[in-house]
Structure 1
Amino acid sequence: MDPAQLKYSASHEWVAVEGETATLGISAFAVKQLTDLVYIELPAVGTQIKTGEPFGEVESVKAVSDLYAPVDGEVLEVNESLQDNLGVLSDDSFGEGWMLKIKLQDPSQVDSLMGQEAYKQHCATG
């Protein structure tokens, strides 16, 4: 995924949209802040996720952090390979490190998310 083409939430999740399907993950900035990831919990296929509500969590040696849904939708696919290889989040957070694929409930919600430049400013000031 090209980070310049993605949309970002203030809580560091990214969204890539193809039609009515969105792929979700967390940004390289977030992974760097967490450092040394040891565990991830993601929802099951069929789970409904709601904007602003936790859909899972990621644990590092420093802290446990909730993952927040940037948009509403139904989980279509979960990247199960993350359970055994959290290093991929550090190595390729915008590609092989994707977390969920969802069916968007309201595609217009994506319009309220930040573009790459706004997200960079958010990270620099946050």
Structure 2
Amino acid sequence: MRIDKYLWCIRLFKTRSIATNACKKGMVKIENINCKPSREIYGSETIFIRKNQINYQIKVLDIPESRVGAKLVDLYRKDLTPKEEFEKTELLKFAKDYYRKKGTGRPTKKDRRDIEDYYDTNE
């Protein structure tokens, strides 16, 4: 089975074209070697996938006939991704916090005046 079709079948990507583009961009590697979307996949190979700033590691257990349901995915793959990869995304969320709450938008006219007054008094 092709690697792009396999990634779509085990529900790692929503569509097959997204899986194909990920392979073309070099975000999918088999045994640490970049692969084309048409590369054949076999059992017991390890796939490295970079998706949403997480480096997933997946071991192929079996090849499905077609796209499988979410409950049956674990029959065809084993997730070897270290927990540190998921903790990195939590740290990224905290790094993006600003002094304004999320959803409040740009500074208002009053905020701008307060900022200007602050800089004028400190010079």
- Fold equivalence (TM over 0.5): no
Structure with greater contact order relative to length (CA < 8 Å, sep ≥ 6): 1
Which of the pair has more CA radius of gyration? 2
Q: TM-score, normalised by structure 1?
A: 0.29
* The structure with more helix, counted as a fraction of residues: 2
